[in-house]
Each structure stands twice: as C-alpha cells, then as structure tokens.
Amino acid sequence: MSSALLPASTSAWDQYWQDGRLASCGGEGGTNYQPAITEGWRRFFDALTDGAHVLDICTGNGAVARLAAEVASVRNLKVTIEAVDSATINPTRLGLGADMIRFSSRTPAENLPFPDATFDVVVGQYAIEYTDLERTMAELRRVSRQTADIRFVTHAVSGIVVQEAKRQLADVERLTGTGIFESAEALVKSSTDLTATGLNDTRRNFQNALQALHDATTGAMDLTMYRNVGAVIAHAIQHLPQVGAAAVLAKIRETATSVRSHEARLSSMSRAALDAAAAEALRVLAERLWSKSFKVDALVRSDGAVFGWVLASGEKES
C-alpha cells in the first residue's frame, strides 16, 4: 500500500487509451471484458436503484461504466455515473445509456473533485491496485455514503492476466536489449557524415542489431511485435534518401516510444498485482473505513483460471 507503485507519469496509459480501447489487458479484452468478468459486473449492477450515483475509478475508456449504464437502461433506471481516470482517456462509440456517464480525465483516485458522501455505488476494474491504496481508499470513503455498495476487481499475482503480462514483459525487454532503436538512430544521424569510417561503423552496428532482433525471436511469445518493429525500422531506413533524416528519426522514435510505453504498462501491472495477503489486507482496510463487512474472493473462469481478486461489500459472491 505504497506510493512506490505509482508511475512517474501517465504517458504510457495516455497513449494506450487514445485509440478507443475498452479493456486494459491484452488477450483478455476484445471490445470488452471476457464473460467471467462481465457477468459478475452485470449481477452487481442488477442491484442498482433509480437515481443512484455511481463512481467508476481508473475507468480507462469506460468498460465498467458502460456496463452499469447498459444494465440501468435495460431496467428503465436513471442513474448518474462519474467515470474518472488519472490518464487522458478517449471514450468512443458509446452505447446504451451513454447519456448517464460523465467521463473525466486527469482525475486521480487519490484526489477526487466530489463532495463528501456523494456516491451510492463505487466500482473499479483493475484500478485501485495501481494507486496509493491507503490514500485512495480513504478518499473513496470520503466521497461515498457509509451504505454504499462497493466492488473492485484487482489483479492477482498468480492470475492469468498478470502471468501473461510477465511473459510479454520478458519479450519486450529482450527486444529493447538488442539496441535496435539506438543503432537505427545512430545510422540515420551518420547519413550526413562524409567520412566512410563513421558510416560503415554505424551501418555495421545496425546490421548487428537487426541480427540480434532476429535471434531474440527464439522462444519469444510475441513474434508479431519483433517482426513489426524490424519491418518498420528497416522500411524507414530504406526510404531515408526519399524522405530525409528528420522523418526517419521521427518514425524510429515513435516506434520506440510505443514499445517502451507497452513495457511500462506491463511492468506497472506486474508490480501492482496483489497476492493473497495483500488482498486480505485490503479487505481489512475497507471494513475499517466503511464500518461494515467486506469479502474478498478469487475471480475464476469456467476452466479454473484465475483472473484476479474481487473485493465487495456484503455477502460472498456466488
């Protein structure tokens, strides 16, 4: 429950949300979360009452907020949903009940712009574990009513989402370790060097990095990432005479930023995930703050795979 989990900036997530993605976990999202996750939220939102004020923290582009709005609309309820995130988000293609949702970027969970005792429902999917938990939970208690219905789904250290993230992270670290971006930049910059020695050296270093990139694909899970990076960099350098150094450098840096942002998100997820002891500590903290019972359970797919932890007020989920 430390601020050490907080990223230095939200730039990696700013980039991620800009194309309208809903789910935050590669391989577990598509247009929204998988049934094991979605069905749990639908059951929870079935208890919404007319006029309820709902807070969805770390909303991303609003996967959970949209589910709340959809359930409310089907039941002919009118609710108000505040969907906030510390990153710059880009919610698009809003569906049923979208008029009930107000999205707010640059709104950290630790410092919310709402009056005391505003919300009847507080939710978050892969959310609170990315924040300073003690500050966030205290702030959520401030803005919610004591009787509020509360449900969070968090990453679990042993869960399939986090384990996949760790495999992807190893792939990214091998890729960046080849020096492909640095050697490509050096080659482009040396294209104006009139000495053959300088150009030959940087060309040789770039070819070595390309070979290292190829070699690193052995045992890699994400072959597409390696191939795409190699193809983009090679294509950009091949067109250096036509487009000039500035354009090629911009493409190299854009690609490097995308890969390093991906690395930052995966690393953040791995650090944020809760083990059983941390999940239990979060339950105890919630009970102390709201002065009522909370349960923490594993969220399990039909095949037995664990997605994460569910922390919810009230009785154990079925």
Based on the fold, state whether residues 47 and 150 are members of the same structural domain: yes
Q: How many CA atoms lie less than 13 Å away from 33 in the CB half-sphere?
A: 26
Q: Provide the pLDDT for residue 6.
A: 36
Based on the fold, state whether residues 32 and 143 are members of the same structural domain: yes
221 occurs within a structural domain: yes
Neighbours of 17 (CB within 10 A): 23
Confidence of residue 27 (pLDDT cuts 50, 70, 90): very low
Confidence of residue 21 (pLDDT cuts 50, 70, 90): low
Based on the fold, state whether residues 234 and 256 are members of the same structural domain: yes
Based on the fold, state whether residues 142 and 184 are members of the same structural domain: no
Mean pLDDT of 208-237: 88
Q: Provide the pLDDT for residue 314.
A: 84
Q: Provide the pLDDT for residue 92.
A: 80
Q: Could you tell me how many residues make up the chain?
A: 318
Based on the fold, state whether residues 67 and 147 are members of the same structural domain: yes
**Does the pLDDT at position 282 exceed 50?**
yes
- How confident is the prediction for the chain on average, in pLDDT? 87
Helical packing angle, 160-177 and 180-189, nearest 10°: 30
Q: Provide the pLDDT for residue 218.
A: 84
Q: Provide the pLDDT for residue 229.
A: 92
Based on the fold, state whether residues 72 and 217 are members of the same structural domain: no
Q: Which domain holds residue 249?
A: 162-268
Domain count along the chain: 2
**Does the pLDDT at position 31 exceed 80?**
no
219 occurs within a structural domain: yes
SS (H, E, C) the chain: CCHHHCCCCCHHHHHHHCCCCCCCCCCCCCCCCCHHHHHHHHHHHCCCCCCCEEEECCCCCCHHHHHHHHHHHHCCCCCEEEEECCCCCCCCCCCCCHHHEEEECCCCCCCCCCCCCCEEEEEEECCHHHCCHHHHHHHHHHHEEEEEEEEEEEEECCCHHHHHHHHHHHHHHHHHHCCHHHHHHHHHHHHHCCCHHHHHHHHHHHHHHHHHHHHHCCCCCCHHHHHHHHHHHHHHHHCHHHHCHHHHHHHHHHHHHHHHHHHHHHHHHHHHCECHHHHHHHHHHHHHHHCCCEEEEEEECCCCCEEEEEEEECCCCC
Based on the fold, state whether residues 148 and 168 are members of the same structural domain: no
Based on the fold, state whether residues 244 and 300 are members of the same structural domain: no
Mean pLDDT of 241-270: 91
Is the overall model pTM greater than 0.95, yes or no? no
Based on the fold, state whether residues 115 and 215 are members of the same structural domain: no
Based on the fold, state whether residues 171 and 224 are members of the same structural domain: yes
What CATH code is carried by the domain that includes residue 64? 3.40.50.150
**Does the pLDDT at position 71 exceed 50?**
yes
Q: Provide the pLDDT for residue 272.
A: 93
**Does the pLDDT at position 193 exceed 70?**
no
Based on the fold, state whether residues 125 and 242 are members of the same structural domain: no
The residue from 233, 253, 268 where one domain ends is 268
- At 173-191, the pLDDT tens digits run 999 999 999 999 999 988 8
Q: Provide the pLDDT for residue 3.
A: 32
Best-predicted range by mean pLDDT (8-17, 122-131, 188-197, 227-236): 122-131
96 occurs within a structural domain: yes
56 occurs within a structural domain: yes
Based on the fold, state whether residues 125 and 181 are members of the same structural domain: no
245 occurs within a structural domain: yes
Q: Provide the pLDDT for residue 302.
A: 81
Q: Provide the pLDDT for residue 309.
A: 96
318 occurs within a structural domain: no
**Does the pLDDT at position 194 exceed 70?**
no
Q: Provide the pLDDT for residue 37.
A: 86
